[in-house]
Structure 1
Amino acid sequence: MNITKNKSVLTLMALAMGTIFLTSCGEDKKEKEEQDATVKQVNAIDTPAVSLITVTKGKLNSSISVPGELIPYQEVNLYAKVNSYVKKLMVDIGSEVHKGQLLATLEAPEINSQLASAKSKIEQQKAVYFASKATYDRLVNTSKTPGTISQNDLEQAEAKKNSDAANVEAAKSDYAGVAANLNYLEIRAPFDGVITQRNVNPGAYVGSGGNGNVPLFVVQDQKRMRLVISIPESSTGGLNNKDKVTFSVRSIPNKKYTAQVVRLAGALDEKLRSERLEMDVYNKNKELLPHMFAEVDVPLPSRDSTLIVPKSAVVTSTEKVFVITVIDHHAHWVDVKKGIQSGDNTEVYGDLKSGDKIIKVATDEIRDGQIVKDN
């Protein structure tokens, strides 16, 4: 009995020791796995795996959308030069007119009296001239007899004749000046266009003492208009007068119009820091109206071959803008400037060359000089 009892005790003790051993081994294995996972995480942080791409050269074509305005190719305000009354109006708002067409006639009775006075002055000066000329001619004939007329009297008579002749010409000039005012009593169209404003009625007193700075008519050339836009400084580099733009207006949203760049300011506006561009738009069917706003798509073609990288490779931090090159498994920050962007790619300018390896998805968490490994 004692022997059997002792064997049972020994067996239980052996089982207990085995259980303790196995439990200890399991805990050691779990702890080792946790340590290995921690080491891997630390190594992953210290040596991140990255995807590399090669810097290439190429050209990007991009575009920007800017607001624009349609303005008449020509627009003029017509005023009355002389104080007068509106006698008759031949056109109204919306009338199509042609160059030289009579738009209105004015009347100024005082001009007629001034004209008559100027004409009388001419006749008066002519009479004085004819009298002095006759005197001079008689003196010349008399002077042919020696000793009858002194040379001084002859010279004075000639001077008087010439002076009176000059007065006749001055009177004629005064008459022409007054007569020219008659032309200002007719308001004519300076070019083909449309009357967009009529601010007077028959009988109205116009001129500097009348309606002041209010024009009688406003005439616009609407068959040809200017599309005016302002391009930001950063986008002015590659544009020239061979580029074409597309635009749309709110009143016809489903239609796209095309226009060619014709005029570039060649300078930046001091306030907006932008360059003014103008395109000629032909509007024969009058779909477009002056002073409409337009949404304009402006192409920004790259003129030179530049370095192209994915947008994800460019890091914009609070410190700088850079890409990360990898040389001998070490990361290096390279300062760059961004150019035209198109799709997922962008131009960059900096201390890079074609063939350099850079990180495809870069972040400022990858520090300068840090060891990295290829993914």
Structure 2
Amino acid sequence: MKNKLLKKSFLFLVLATVLTACNSSEKKKIASVETSPVIETFTISKEKLTTELRIPAELAGFQQVDIYAKVSSFVKELNVDIGAQVKKGQLLLILEAPEISSQLAAAQSRELSQKAIYTASKSTFDRLFETSKIEGTISKNDLEQAAARKNSDYAQYLATKSAYKEITIMKSYLVIRAPFDGIISARNVNLGAFVGPSGKGSELPLFTLQQQDKLRLPVYVPEIYTGYLTIGDELIFNVKSINNETFRAKIARMSGALDNRLRSERVELDVFNKNQKLLPGMVAEVILPIKSKDSNYVVPKSAVVTSSDGVYVFVIKNNKTVRTPIQKGRELENRVEIFGDIPENSLLVKMASEELKDGTMVK
């Protein structure tokens, strides 16, 4: 009887010990969960991030040319002044070079003289040729010499004719006309002034002619953004000297190569300026919309940690933080585009920092 009581007491003691151990382990689990830090999380999702880039640029005339004198001469007649609107082919000024006139007269005299010599030698050859048809009248040698003389005189005649034409062309340079429609934006010459080719008679051009009804806006786009633009895209820009007004222009040309110094691509916009409100030389600020072609992960900036160990985010797996390396893309205000091996609909820590350890339990 006494042994039975001892056995029952022992079994009761063992059962109490087991129950106590179970209760203590459960309490520890609950305590560990309760003591885990409360961390704010969010579900990652993909979207197309649209940003904009502001780049300074300078307006220029669609066509612009500095007009110099082709030959050394004097200004005889001046027909336009600064600010004048001219049409293509309109007379701008007339130059005078007396030596060219005398050269032209001498060249014309040489041409007429050589033409007469050629006419005489040709006539002689023609008579000898007709006579030679009667056998034994003209020797073959005499006929060949007459033909050679005629050909030589003809070559000399062509040379003098070309010389006369060359001087005629040089004289035509004394009359300067507008190569295209535009506005005279600079004038550096007066009546009677001696002018000539650049670096000789004139250090400055006679005129600067600009086409202003259509302007050219070159923009240098950084390498990282060149893939977001195509020909035909419409861009917005504004000019500091014209407040509260925006202008639109389309991309007309892209260089297709990067500038070695700037590591950027030259993109040109055609700006139609019929009212001539915009002027060449104005500084513009061009707004480039950077639109993603594909959807990518976009997260708050606070979720990305940048440290000496690299760039990473914390993904929640099995209630624990897992450090996951990523690459950053474009940034917009408080959001950033990221790339990495992250499954869709994953939970990420919203307020990440270097103090947060890998494998931290998350409540």
**For residues 264 and 142 of structure 1, what CA distance do their matches in structure 2 show?**
73
**For residues 315 and 69 of structure 2, what CA distance do their matches in structure 1 show?**
73
The code of the aligned residue for 1:84 comes to S
Give yes or no for contact 1:193–1:222 (8 Å, CA) kept in 2.
Answer: yes
Which secondary structure does the structure 2 equivalent of 1:139 belong to?
A: helix
Which residue of the partner structure matches residue 88 of structure 2?
99
Runs of 4+ in structure 1 off by over 6 angstroms are none
**For residues 227 and 134 of structure 2, what CA distance do their matches in structure 1 show?**
90
Q: How does 1:273-284 map to 2 (within 5 A)?
A: 273-284=263-274
Which residue of the partner structure matches residue 182 of structure 1?
171
The code of the aligned residue for 1:344 comes to N
Give yes or no for contact 2:321–2:362 (8 Å, CA) kept in 1.
Answer: no
Give yes or no for contact 1:194–1:220 (8 Å, CA) kept in 2.
Answer: yes
Which residue of the partner structure matches residue 291 of structure 1?
281
What TM-score, normalized to structure 1?
Answer: 0.83
Which secondary structure does the structure 2 equivalent of 1:237 belong to?
A: helix
The code of the aligned residue for 2:361 comes to V
Q: How does 1:176-325 map to 2 (within 5 A)?
A: 176-208=165-197, 210-325=200-315
1:163 aligns with 2:130: no
The code of the aligned residue for 1:89 comes to L
Shift of 1:127: 1.9
**For residues 199 and 221 of structure 1, what CA distance do their matches in structure 2 show?**
19
**Which 10-residue stretch deviates more, 347-356 or 196-205?**
347-356
**For residues 318 and 231 of structure 1, what CA distance do their matches in structure 2 show?**
31
**For residues 188 and 319 of structure 1, what CA distance do their matches in structure 2 show?**
69
Q: Deviations over 1:92-151 (max 9, x none)?
A: 000011111110000111111111111111111112112212321232233233223221
Q: Deviations over 1:176-230 (max 9, x none)?
A: 1111112101111111110011011111111137533421000001111122222
Q: Which structure is larger by alpha-carbon Rg, 1 or 2?
A: 1
**For residues 293 and 305 of structure 1, what CA distance do their matches in structure 2 show?**
35
Give yes or no for contact 1:302–1:340 (8 Å, CA) kept in 2.
Answer: no
The code of the aligned residue for 1:252 comes to I
Give yes or no for contact 2:305–2:313 (8 Å, CA) kept in 1.
Answer: yes
1:77 aligns with 2:66: yes
Q: Deviations over 1:38-70 (max 9, x none)?
A: xx99x96xx533222222122111101221111
Which residue of the partner structure matches residue 31 of structure 1?
none
Shift of 1:250: 1.8
1:352 aligns with 2:348: no
What TM-score, normalized to structure 2?
Answer: 0.86
1:54 aligns with 2:54: no
**For residues 61 and 126 of structure 2, what CA distance do their matches in structure 1 show?**
65
Q: Deviations over 1:272-329 (max 9, x none)?
A: 2122222111222222111111122211011112122222211222332222212122
The code of the aligned residue for 1:268 comes to L
Which secondary structure does the structure 1 equivalent of 2:63 belong to?
A: strand
Which secondary structure does the structure 2 equivalent of 1:284 belong to?
A: coil
**For residues 126 and 233 of structure 2, what CA distance do their matches in structure 1 show?**
77
Give yes or no for contact 1:50–1:372 (8 Å, CA) kept in 2.
Answer: no
Give yes or no for contact 1:300–1:340 (8 Å, CA) kept in 2.
Answer: no
**Which 10-residue stretch deviates more, 123-132 or 315-324?**
315-324
Identity %: 48
The code of the aligned residue for 2:40 comes to S
With over 3 angstroms needed to count, the CA separation of the structure-2 counterparts of 1:372 and 1:275, relative to structure 1, is farther
Which secondary structure does the structure 2 equivalent of 1:294 belong to?
A: strand
Which residue of the partner structure matches residue 8 of structure 1?
none
Give yes or no for contact 1:61–1:301 (8 Å, CA) kept in 2.
Answer: yes
Which residue of the partner structure matches residue 6 of structure 2?
none
Which residue of the partner structure matches residue 120 of structure 1?
109
With over 3 angstroms needed to count, the CA separation of the structure-2 counterparts of 1:266 and 1:352, relative to structure 1, is farther
Shift of 1:341: 2.7
The code of the aligned residue for 2:227 comes to G
Give yes or no for contact 2:72–2:201 (8 Å, CA) kept in 1.
Answer: no
**For residues 114 and 288 of structure 1, what CA distance do their matches in structure 2 show?**
48
Unmatched 5+ stretches in structure 1:
1-39
Which residue of the partner structure matches residue 146 of structure 1?
135
With over 3 angstroms needed to count, the CA separation of the structure-2 counterparts of 1:279 and 1:153, relative to structure 1, is same
Q: Please point out which of 310, 317, 332 is paired with 1:327.
A: 317
Unmatched 5+ stretches in structure 2:
1-30
Which residue of the partner structure matches residue 362 of structure 2?
373
Shift of 1:164: 1.0
**For residues 344 and 136 of structure 1, what CA distance do their matches in structure 2 show?**
97
**For residues 353 and 93 of structure 1, what CA distance do their matches in structure 2 show?**
68
Which residue of the partner structure matches residue 24 of structure 2?
none
